[in-house]
Amino acid sequence: MSHHLHWGIMGTGNIARQFADGLMGARRSVLAAVASRSQDSAINFATQRSIPNAHAGYAALLADRSVEAVYLALPNALHHEWTLKALKAGKHVLCEKPLANDAAQAQEMFTAARKAKLVLAEAFMYRSHPLTKAWLAALRGGAIGKVKFIRTNFTFYVSRTEGNIRFSTALAGGALMDVGCYCINLARLVAQAEPLSIQATAVKHSSGVDELTAATLTFPEGLVATFVCGMRAQADNTAMICGDQGYLLIPVPWKPPVQKAEFTLAHSTPPRMEAGAAKGPPPRHTFQVDAPLPLYALEADEFAATVLEGAAPAVRPEDSLGNMRTLDAIRSQIGLVFGLPTQDY
Ligand SMILES: NC(=O)c1ccc[n+]([C@@H]2O[C@H](COP(=O)([O-])OP(=O)(O)OC[C@H]3O[C@@H](n4cnc5c(N)ncnc54)[C@H](OP(=O)(O)O)[C@@H]3O)[C@@H](O)[C@H]2O)c1
């Protein structure tokens, strides 16, 4: 087998472009092909990046023998169908988050991958950045003692909702699916467990998707995680992980910068009545982490190492399945139901 993994990109939207541009800097990955519903779009995308093959229609990409792995950058509701088709065609699949509409679909996808002896992984790219590995190592090394609570948020403001995949129930949109899945993933990563109980509330957009969801997840040993995700609000989009001996602040956890990504290890200021011995601000240290490559190159190369060397995937199947189950539980509490996708590809 070659030293490089040959990728085919399915879709030419926002994240497909970011992934393709990032991949230019990869060490173990090369772009072999791209596919779009529109031939023009595929050709433009390929020409701008010197990608050898441009395909009209996703099925043509799967028939391309130069493609070993598919990067699936389609709307959420198409992940299940096209992952199964890609696996059937003998391709490994790195599928965008969330892996599927629900846990049952995700289970079917992993079963198909296992039977075909192919790699399927969910593209939570923040997991591939060395910042995430660094704060996780500090946490596991006992830097903040026993973890007590986690508070994250991930929101952004969308002005154009018309024709936006995130505002379509048929395409499995909504804030929870789009960005809430990150908050859930981080909480489960820290807890190394699945939530025992979940309480969620949401505000719906007229399209039927949740434009804001807030949830509290309670994990074993009394670890509590809260998060807010939204598509019509602005927030700091940070993560705070609090223990009995200090806390970690991660200012940009979801898409850390390539250079000078940061996290801070801090201790809280005690309330005045207990502050007898405390003079001056409590100790606080900020760590800086540089990534060796662009974020999506790291993600692609980690996936390549799984395919080419059998390395453990950055996000394992049980991890994705746990995430999907939590998403299912929250969706049932907030009454978020998906419609049937339109078949226009
Ligand atoms: N990891 C990350 O950082 C990150 C960031 C953003 C999004 N995502 C995930 O990536 C996926 C795509 O998101 P995106 O922001 O790239 O969306 P987008 O810009 O709307 O692109 C989606 C692409 O899917 C294809 N498509 C197929 N059927 C479609 C339909 N019925 N309606 C619209 N597009 C359709 C289109 O490509 P063609 O026209 O070329 O066929 C389109 O360009 C989602 O699952 C999302 O959760 C991940």
Identify the CATH number of the domain in which residue 65 sits. 3.40.50.720
Cα-to-centroid distance, 102 and ligand 1 (Å)? 18
In contact, 32 and 6? CB cutoff 8 Å: yes
Distance CA 205, CA 169 (A): 11
Please give the DSSP secondary-structure letter assigned to residue 283: P
pLDDT digits (tens, 9 = 90+) for 289-302: 999 999 999 999 99
Are 161 and 278 within one domain? Answer: yes
| Same domain, yes or no: 140 and 119 | no
> What's the CA gap between 72 and 344, in Å, rounded?
17
Where in the sequence numbering do the catalytic residues fall?
97
Instruction: State yes or no: pLDDT of 223 exceeds 60.
Output: yes
Sheet bearing 29-36, strands edge to edge: 53-56, 29-36, 5-10, 69-72, 92-96, 120-123
pLDDT exceeds cutoff 70 at 340: no
**Quick one: 112 and 174 in the same domain?**
no
CA distance 198 to 216: 6
Tell me how far the alpha carbon of residue 11 lies from the centroid of ligand 1, in angstroms.
Answer: 7
How high is the pLDDT of residue 270?
Answer: 74
| Within-domain flag for 342 | no
Q: Are residues 107 and 169 located together in one domain of the fold?
A: no
pLDDT reported for residue 278? 58
* Structural domain contains residue 343: no
**In this structure, which residue's CA is closest to atom 42 in ligand 1?**
13
What number does the ligand 1 atom closest to the CA of 42 have?
40
Q: Is residue 136 domain-shared with residue 244, that is, in the same domain?
A: yes
151 and 98 within one domain = no
The whole-number average pLDDT for the span 84-91 is 98
Q: Which of 14, 62, 81, 344 to mutate to test the pocket of ligand 1 (most atoms within 8 A of CB)?
A: 14
Q: Is residue 17 part of a domain?
A: yes
What is the C-alpha separation between 328 and 341, in angstroms, rounded?
Answer: 18
User: Ligand 1, closest atom to CA 171?
Assistant: 31
Residue type present at position 303: F
Say what the pLDDT of residue 343 is. Answer: 46
**Mean pLDDT, rounded, of the chain:** 95
What are the tokens at 234? 């602005």
**Portion of the chain with pLDDT greater than 70, in percent:** 95
Q: Which domain holds residue 278?
A: 130-290+326-334
The verdict on 78 and 61 lying in the same domain is: yes
